[in-house]
Amino acid sequence: MNVAIIPARGGSKRIPRKNIKPFCGKPMVAHAIETALASEFIDNVVVSTDDQEIAEVAQQYGADVPFLRPPELADDYTGTSPVVRHALTTLLESGWDIAYCACVYATSPLLSTALINSCYEKLVASENTDYVFTAARFSFPIQRAILQTESGGVKPFDSFGITQRSQDLEPAYHDAGQLYWGHHKTWLDTTKKIFGADSQMVVMPDHLVQDIDTLDDWERAELLYQLIHKEQR
């Protein structure tokens, strides 16, 4: 089987209870659960959480919560990969027969089922690919970035790049913070990195990518969500 694992801890600081805060009419995590469940390539959706209330909400929307995440994996410093490895290890030890695993972020309401499917198809089409993940292009060349000095002045991030024309600089991309597909053996191999040379990215248009770290981010994401779904009607 293929599974989607949704990390959703309870200790969000900047937006309290972010993972179950209502977003366009339903808890934030519900959007990720329903989008993943609609995929023909995902058999089960598992929410990894340390929070009983989040667990109950997740189950209401069709996710499995067969364990609660231990506190040492639910702090402000634990990355995504250790959380997914813990979830996979726990499920495999419980007898689950898992092939591929998608990590879907709880705060990715702009993610579509079609994208989940296309990323999976891209992964299985290549034997040499470790991960496939969503990314977005920086709208401005990062080589022309400037930094502020301790004295309040400025200095170039890249002293050569800042002298070049924008159109002559290589495009740069960033993680969209939505979706990562990999074989379960790849996730369990700590030498395999999501952002390594053997991974591939699917580049998203800007209007489908939104970090949700502040209330302003939240409001913008709701507007984008409403616009996207209005256009789909």
- Residue 223 confidence class, pLDDT cut points 50, 70, 90: very high
Q: Which residues contact 62 (CB under 8 A, 6 or more apart)?
A: 33, 34, 37, 45
Domain boundaries, the chain: 3-136+174-232
Return the DSSP state at 171.
P
Q: Is 226 helix (H, G, I), strand (E, B) or coil?
A: helix
- In order of 30, 34, 51, the CA distances from 25 in angstroms are 10, 14, 21
**Counting beta carbons within 10 angstroms of the beta carbon of residue 153, is it exposed (0 to 12), middle (13 to 18) or buried (19 or more)?**
exposed
Angle between helices 113-124 and 28-37 (to 10 degrees): 50
pLDDT value, residue 14: 86
pLDDT value, residue 145: 95
pLDDT value, residue 127: 85
Q: What is the pLDDT of residues 3-22, one digit of tens each?
A: 999 999 998 888 999 999 99
Q: What percent of the chain has pLDDT over 90?
A: 92
Which has the closest alpha carbon to 14: 169, 213, 219?
213
Mean pLDDT confidence for 183-211? 95
pLDDT value, residue 218: 95
Decide: 43 and 63 in contact? Cβ < 8 Å. Answer: no
Query: What backbone torsions phi and psi does residue 158 show, to the nearest 5 degrees?
Result: -135, 105
pLDDT at 231 over 90: no
Q: What residue has token string 């070049």? A: 164
- Specify the amino acid at residue 135: A
Q: Can you read off the two tokens belonging to residue 66?
A: 């067969």
- Residue 150 confidence class, pLDDT cut points 50, 70, 90: very high
Q: Which residues contact 36 (CB under 8 A, 6 or more apart)?
A: 4, 6, 42, 45, 102, 104, 113, 116
Q: What percent of the chain has pLDDT over 70?
A: 99
Q: What residue has token string 């994996």? A: 73
Q: Is 186 helix (H, G, I), strand (E, B) or coil?
A: helix
- In order of 14, 18, 119, 220, the CA distances from 217 in angstroms are 11, 12, 25, 5
Mean pLDDT confidence for 120-145? 95
Under CATH, domain 3-136+174-232 is a member of which superfamily?
A: Spore Coat Polysaccharide Biosynthesis Protein SpsA; Chain A (3.90.550.10)
Return the higher-pLDDT residue of 207 and 101.
101
pLDDT value, residue 233: 58
pLDDT at 230 over 80: no
Q: Can you read off the two tokens belonging to residue 206?
A: 């800007």
pLDDT value, residue 38: 98
